[in-house]
């Protein structure tokens, strides 16, 4: 009877160990996938912010040029 209890104990410990290892592997894989997705989303958001900043700067320069042109045109026009 003793060898049977020892075998049962070894089998139980082995099952717990195997279950613990499998659970850790799955959790780390899910975390890695989530981290990769968050990194990609952050990178895309950063690129979008950079493009928006550049577009706003170009638009501001064009508005300044148009305002200067309008001001110069207003000065050059004959008064009535």
φ/ψ (deg, to 5) at 68: -65, -40
Q: What's the rounded Cα separation, in Å, for the pair 45 and 38?
A: 10
- The two three-digit tokens of residue 60, written as one number: 């501001």
The reported pTM is 0.48
Q: What's the rounded Cα separation, in Å, for the pair 71 and 77?
A: 10
**What pLDDT shows up at residue 13?**
78
> Nearest CA to 48 among 36, 60, 40?
40
pLDDT tens digits for 35-54? 888 889 999 999 999 999 99
């Amino acid at each position: 009877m003793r060898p049977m209890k020892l075998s049962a104990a070894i089998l139980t410990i082995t099952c717990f160990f195997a279950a613990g290892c499998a659970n850790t592997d799955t959790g780390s894989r899910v975390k890695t996938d989530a981290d990769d997705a968050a990194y990609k989303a952050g990178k895309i958001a950063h690129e979008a912010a950079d493009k928006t900043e550049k577009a706003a700067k170009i638009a501001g320069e064009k508005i300044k040029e148009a305002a200067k042109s309008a001001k110069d045109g207003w000065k050059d026009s004959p008064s009535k």
